[in-house]
Amino acid sequence: MYIVLEGIDGVGKTTHITYLNQWLESKGYIVEKLVEPTDSEIGKLIRKQLSNPEIITDTNQQILSLLFAADRLTLKKKIANTKKSKERILISDRSFYSSIAYQNNESISKDWIYDINRYMPRPDLTIILDLDPKDAIRRCDGTDTFENINFLKKTRNGYKKLLKYPNTIKIDATPSKSEVQEEIQKVIEEKLNI
C-alpha cells in the first residue's frame, strides 16, 4: 500500500507521518517513510534550487518539474514492489501531485506534468491536508522561496482541483494535531479495512 500525504508547506505532513508510522507499526504493518525530494543527488540539487529567489520564473519551474520527476523515479521500484504487498505500507511525504499543485504556472501544462511522471506508480490513497496559507506560513520556517503567501494561496487552489482524482481525500488541518491525526487514521482504517 502506497499512502501519500500532500498539502502546502506548513500543514504538518511530517508530524502526521511520524504519528502514522507509530500507529501502523503498532497494528503490525511493516512501515517505511518516504520523502520527496529524496536524498538522491537529484534531490540534493532540487533542495539547493528551492532557496533560489529566481526559482519561480517560468523556465526554472520547467527545469524543476523535470528534476522532481527524475528524482521521483529513484523511488519507482520500491513503490511498485510495496504496492503489491498487504502487510507493507509506504507513507510518503509528497508525490507527483505536488508537481501538479506547485508547478502550476501558465508556462506549464498539466498534461506535460502527467507525461513526465507517466511511469510512476499512482498512490493507493492521497490525503490532502488543507490549511489557510496564513496559518501555514506561521508554522513553517519561511526559508524556501515557495513559502510565501501568494504562492501558497495558488498552490492550495491547485490542490483543491486534485480532489476529483480517485482515492484522493481532503482533511482540514486547522484543528489540533491529535484531532487531525484521528481524522487521518479514520480514513486509513477505512482504506485498509481494519
- Is 146 a binding residue for ligand TYD by CB under 6 A? The answer is yes
Q: C-alpha distances in angstroms, 184 versus 136, 169, 180?
A: 18, 10, 6
Q: Total binding residues for ligand TYD by CB under 6 A?
A: 13
- Is 102 a binding residue for ligand TYD by CB under 6 A? The answer is yes
- Is 6 a binding residue for ligand TYD by CB under 6 A? The answer is no
- Is 98 a binding residue for ligand TYD by CB under 6 A? The answer is yes
Compute the distance between CA of residue 3 and CA of residue 6 in angstroms, rounded to an integer: 10
- Is 50 a binding residue for ligand TYD by CB under 6 A? The answer is yes
- Is 124 a binding residue for ligand TYD by CB under 6 A? The answer is no
Angle at 36 between CA 167 and CA 189, to 5 degrees: 35
Full strand arrangement of the beta sheet holding 2-6:
30-35, 88-93, 2-6, 125-130, 168-172
Contacts of residue 66, Cβ cutoff 8 Å, sequence gap at least 6: 116
Out of 5, 17, 42, 94, the residue judged to bind ligand TYD by CB under 6 A: 94
- Is 162 a binding residue for ligand TYD by CB under 6 A? The answer is no
- Is 68 a binding residue for ligand TYD by CB under 6 A? The answer is yes
Out of 6, 9, 124, 183, the residue judged to bind ligand TYD by CB under 6 A: 9
The binding site for ligand TYD (CB under 6 A) comprises: 9, 36-37, 50, 68, 93-94, 98-99, 102-103, 144, 146
